[in-house]
Structure 1
Amino acid sequence: MKAYIFPGQGAQFVGMGLDLYENYPIAKELFEQANAILGFPITDIMFEGAAEDLKQTKVTQPAIFLHSVILSKVLGDSFKPDMVAGHSLGEFSALVANGTLNFEDGLKLVSKRALAMQKACELQPSTMAAVLGLDDAVVEKICEETPGTVVAANYNCPGQLVISGEVAAVEAACEKMKEAGARRALVLPVGGAFHSPLMEPAREELAEAIEHTVFSAPQCPVYQNVTTVAVSDATEVKKNLILQLTAPVKWTQSVENMVKDGAREFIEVGPGKVLQGLVRKIAKDVESRSADIPK
């Protein structure tokens, strides 16, 4: 069975999507449609902008979404997923790819999400940190025992977690992680505490937009970050998507469940190769690769 997976924030690079725009009429049409929907020429920033501009959350999230979704459209008849999943933001790309959301609604929600997260970041100084070489349970225990708000936010693969919360709490937790034997505990250059309780204002804002969006029955199951199991009910998809902003991204558990349910080939659709690298660390006996762009 084929599992198609979609990357999240951090996979962006200047020049992303230009080859699709120049070579495929469907891609050009969708990129131009996106410029009109967003109200600014995102293609200019994606194709030839400054890396700093592309790094802004309000640009990064729609840019990665567009690259992933448009690539899945370019794949045409060869795009036949048995199941899909996305890492954080990538879940929105996955939901367009499996027919739960249409392109326009997906892009509007991603843009709304990015702006709401940006706003939440500005309300309180917060950050995230990567922790390498500790068991999940140890990371969780240290977070619980650290004063202030700090939680496990991304379960990327065994021995690689990201924690998220108030700046002082994250820094204090990093010191304790090192004392507990972490190979690294490094504060990341991000603007906020994604997938933590500090994203509650953004969750509320996005929830309203999601509630007013039409969700169709998925054409194949999606393994969502919050529940990690196959979901085929549109109402449940919607509920999990609302919870996602303040809940952890359980990527390790999602991939394990996809393998358990029969996935033998993982195909990453979008910029970068981060997810296929994580899949190799989670499930060593499955194939993982980038989507092949048709010639």
Structure 2
Amino acid sequence: GSVKSMIGHCIPAAGAASLIKVALALYHRVLPPTLCEEVRTDLALGNGRLYLNTETRPWIQGGRMPRCAAVNAFGFGGINTHAILEEAPGQNTGPLSAFLGRRWKPGSELLVFVQPDRTALIQQVEDVRERLRNAPEGDLRRLAMALWRQRGQGEERLAVVAEDERTLEARLAAVVSKLADPARDRLQTRDGVYFNRRPVAGRLAMLFPGENSQYPDMLRDLAIEFPQVRHWFDFLDGLYDGERDLAPSQAIFPLPAGLSAEERIELQKQLRGMELGSESVFAADRALFALLTAFGVRADALLGHSTGENAALTASGVPRLDEAALGACIRRMNALYRNLEMSGVIPDGELLSVGALSLEQAQDILEADPRLHLTMDNCTNQFILFGPAEAIAAAHATLKQRGAFCTELALDRGYHTHLMSPMAEAFRALFASVEFAPAGTVLYSCVTAKPFPSEMEEMRDTAAAQYMCPVRFRESIENLYRDGVRVFVEAGPESHLTAFVRDILRNRPHVAVSCDDRRRGADHQLRHLLGQLFAQGIPVDLEPLYGGMPQPVTALAPYLPTAIPVIQSTGPVATQLRACLHASMPASHAHPLPQERIKACETTDDLAPPVIAKPLGRPGALAGHFDLMQEFLRQQERVMSVWLDRRRGR
């Protein structure tokens, strides 16, 4: 991206500015944008590998090749320099980019309050309101950090998510009004206020979604802000390291410009495909599990839905696989599936999602046509059927007459039916070479709706059986609730499982919250999730939100004048300079001036004295130009130093 679009032309310092920008991009593994309102058509729809990046995007790079970037500097005075930079070797763990990520677009902040009693809590809120009135923060993030690091202890816990001071003041005013009632034990609003005097008591389960949760640009903001998230998309790109025509990240994070409508449709089709669909959701699930772990959220139980069971399995540590072995296992599983598909042993068909009707109300339809198969029992009001096109069409018509809402899904394979037995058997043979052992966190399976068995061979059987057995998600949630789980956190893209849990448990005491919200944005939803957990008294560590903030500067430098000296030549002098410096001649017609003309320029005495101090000959004019540029750079250095000092002090 062009640095000129961000800070203007730095004249002879343009190359230095570009070098700084590229070095920071490599360090934070972020692709900064070229800022522009509209991309030229011939640039936007080019067929080459180059494109104009107009949005801040995560820099995904898997495999053996490091990240590289080129710098082209075309500055004043004839600068024409090119450089290629490469990321530093051995950076296995990326820098904490939280302080950078919150600056690249307007965002929300999470502010937490905790006190031993209601009076003290209201007083703390009033103190913050007074602080905002008397000394506006300008940057809520610094206030949020102070509240977190200076928090006390107590049972009165409040969390507020706000985008700016005005919004925060309005929400705090409403909080004071509502919490003035001592009988109020709970307060929760859609816009981000969470208070719970008597949180639900119980264990916490993490839920991992499977296919049909993926979508373009999922978790993009979190991948920019947190290296734990970006790492798993790096991992996914590195699985095939150039073996595929399209890297997974090219479909997950499509280019902001340069793609036609047809090309975008094709990328979405690939993202919904069998291979990339399951792989992308797996990477997103593991990314959010890693992020939750970084924030100190610990699960007592894990449950995967459909292919999300693979994410739950590997997150639990039951299969003893490091990342290299995990990557090799995924590659082998995909190869086995492709071989089975080519052999024709996996039949195709159609999937039908049925809503607003319970499975019990449709049981007679399933029993009447043996070609229909139940693949998923998701919640009280939603299940999914699979079968050949004509059987699905007939069931669709009958179910619609009964008041059901039916949707045909894009996938055309009978996952979670006995039709997938060849794949389950192939995977079971593969798992024979993988060590399975119980882990510290209880792992549940939607195959049995119970915890995984503790014996190794039975573990392998259960892991493989998910491909040919219906997903018993509703029953699994009921059993988790029976076993004491009251808090359900969805660690994956979208929020389908959260909606399922709410439908299953209805009015029973529980908390169901997702890491992602497609309408709100994953970065905003993360703050809401952490705020809700904090208000529930669940241990969280908010330090990753503030790890990169610079320390304030106590002494501020005075403002300096920003006026830049300008050469103002008289008419005759300007004419003479143009003649000497070829400024008035097109480049295509430029040719050396006669020596007598140059000599005349150097020796003329009857012209008005110039404003510049240097002689008027060609060397003098150039020297004057460079003196001016040096003074300009000194002025800019002083101005930027003052600006940076003031920013650090705020």
Deviation of 1:178 after TM superposition, in Å, equals 3.5
Match of 1:93 among 311, 326, 329: 311
**Partners of 2:501 and 2:336 in 1: CA distance:** 30
**Partners of 1:20 and 1:178 in 2: CA distance:** 40
Q: Which has the higher contact order (CA 8 A, sep 6+)?
A: 1
Q: What's the counterpart of residue 44 of structure 1?
A: 250
- Aligned ranges for residues 255-274 of structure 1 at < 5 Å? 255-274=477-496
- Aligned ranges for residues 223-242 of structure 1 at < 5 Å? 223-231=444-452, 233=454, 235=456, 236-242=458-464
RMSD over equivalenced CA pairs, Å: 2.5
Structure-2 change in CA distance of 1:32 and 1:263 (3 Å): same
Q: What's the counterpart of residue 56 of structure 1?
A: 273
| Contact 1:92/1:106 (<8 A) preserved | no
Deviation of 1:152 after TM superposition, in Å, equals 1.2
**Partners of 2:409 and 2:269 in 1: CA distance:** 16
Deviation of 1:206 after TM superposition, in Å, equals 1.9
Match of 2:505 among 263, 283, 288: 283
| Contact 1:164/1:195 (<8 A) preserved | no
Deviation of 1:182 after TM superposition, in Å, equals 4.1
Structure-2 change in CA distance of 1:251 and 1:208 (3 Å): same
Secondary structure of the residue that 2:253 maps to in structure 1? helix
Deviation of 1:216 after TM superposition, in Å, equals 3.0
**Partners of 1:246 and 1:20 in 2: CA distance:** 34
Match of 2:372 among 133, 142, 150: 150
| Contact 1:220/1:232 (<8 A) preserved | no
Secondary structure of the residue that 2:306 maps to in structure 1? coil
Q: What's the counterpart of residue 210 of structure 2?
A: 8
Secondary structure of the residue that 1:264 maps to in structure 2? strand
| Contact 2:381/2:503 (<8 A) preserved | no
| Contact 2:205/2:488 (<8 A) preserved | yes
- Aligned ranges for residues 44-123 of structure 1 at < 5 Å? 44-48=250-254, 50-77=267-294, 78-101=296-319, 102=321, 104=323, 105-110=325-330, 113=333, 120=341, 123=346
What's the CA shift string for 1:199-252, capped at 9, x where partnerless? 122222222222222223222112201100122526233211211111100000
Structure-2 change in CA distance of 1:253 and 1:107 (3 Å): farther
Q: What's the counterpart of residue 220 of structure 1?
A: 441
| Contact 1:100/1:234 (<8 A) preserved | no
What's the CA shift string for 1:128-175, capped at 9, x where partnerless? 11122333234333212214x211110010121101122222223333
Letter in 1 for 2:251: I
| Contact 1:199/1:245 (<8 A) preserved | yes
Letter in 2 for 1:71: L
**Partners of 2:322 and 2:306 in 1: CA distance:** 18
User: What is the TM-score of this pair, normalised by structure 1?
Assistant: 0.88
| Contact 2:302/2:442 (<8 A) preserved | yes
Instruction: Name the larger-Rg structure.
Output: 2
Letter in 2 for 1:87: H
Deviation of 1:29 after TM superposition, in Å, equals 4.0
**Partners of 2:467 and 2:505 in 1: CA distance:** 26
Secondary structure of the residue that 1:48 maps to in structure 2? coil
Number of aligned residue pairs: 293
Name stretches of at least 5 consecutive residues in structure 2 with no aligned partner: 1-202, 256-266, 516-525, 528-543, 546-650
Which has the larger helix fraction? 1
Structure-2 change in CA distance of 1:178 and 1:114 (3 Å): farther
Deviation of 1:26 after TM superposition, in Å, equals 4.0
Deviation of 1:100 after TM superposition, in Å, equals 1.5
Letter in 2 for 1:69: R
Matched, 1:206 2:412: no
| Contact 2:474/2:504 (<8 A) preserved | yes
Name stretches of at least 5 consecutive residues in structure 1 with no aligned partner: none
